[in-house]
Amino acid sequence: MRVLITAGPTREPIDAVRFIGNRSSGRMGIALAEAAVQAGHEVTLLLGLGATASVPRGLPGKCAVYRFESSAELKQLLDSHWRDHDVLLMAAAVADYRPGCVAEGKLKREPNQRLTLTLEPTPDLVAIMAASKRPGQRVVAFALEEAAELKDRAAQKLRSKGVDAVVANPLGTMESDSITPLWLTADGKSESPGRMTKIDFARWLIRKLPGLIGG
């Protein structure tokens, strides 16, 4: 099976030195790539430059690793690689908004002067990839939501984006070594494997993929 995985945060530039980012460490996506390689799959990992988790030694020799910074750069990589894979695991924390205009050079600080940023929505990469999939391809989205709304929001995301499955996580998952996931599929199935490390969950999820493809 050919597995494409995205991991880590995006950095949306404000000027030549500043950006809007998030606290995603990239641990989940890196763990997924390692588990997929161990399971014998052909793996491509798209990893954000802002990821703080380290890539295991030897992993780049067993799977192709490409780095991205912004959501626009990630889209370019997805456009290049998605067509050659069977499954897409969208574990990256892609920004929902980016500055509408990037300043040239470095913005200068002026005493007592406020700075206003105008933000525009970024393209919905999960929905775009799901809409472009060919028969037999599968897309798994990741949702980070408030615990009280986790299942409802994940189900809504599954329907609205046209993906085949969603991994829903409470907000505390970001920067953590563990995860308490909810697995939802387009055929109405759901499963809560309980709290586990991201490494253990990665192995659990990779074992689910053949069934997702077969379904």
Q: What does the pLDDT look like over 16-66, one tens digit per residue?
A: 999 999 989 999 999 999 999 999 999 999 999 999 999 999 999 999 999
Percentage of the residues of the chain whose pLDDT score is greater than 70: 98
In a domain, 104, yes or no: no
pLDDT of residue 174: 66
What is the DSSP-derived secondary structure letter of residue 50?
T
85 falls within a domain? yes
Indicate the number of domains in the chain: 1
Give the Cα separation of 175 and 7 in Å (integer). Answer: 13
Range of the domain at 68: 2-96+118-214
Residue 43 lies in a domain: yes
Query: CA of 120: how far to CAs of 12, 20, 93, 143, in Å?
Result: 11, 12, 17, 21
Residue 24 lies in a domain: yes
Catalytic site includes residue 22: yes
Backbone angles phi, psi at 46, to 5 degrees: -105, 110
Within a domain: residue 111?
no
Within 8 A by CB and 6+ apart from 171, the residues are 144, 145, 146, 147
**What's the whole-number mean pLDDT along residues 112-129?**
94
- The predicted pLDDT at position 191 comes to 92
Where residue 172 falls among pLDDT bands split at 50, 70, 90? low
- The yes-or-no verdict on residue 83 having pLDDT over 70 is yes
In the structure, what pLDDT confidence band is assigned to residue 148 with cuts at 50, 70 and 90?
confident
DSSP classification of residue 94: -
Residue 166 lies in a domain: yes
Identify the pLDDT of residue 215: 54
Read off the pTM: 0.94
Reported confidence tier of residue 73, pLDDT bands at 50, 70, 90 = very high
**CATH number of the domain to which 206 belongs:** 3.40.50.10300
- What is the Cα–Cα distance from 128 to 126, expressed in whole angstroms? 5
In this predicted structure, what is the pLDDT of residue 173?
67
Q: Considering 6, 22, 24, 44, which one is annotated as catalytic?
A: 22
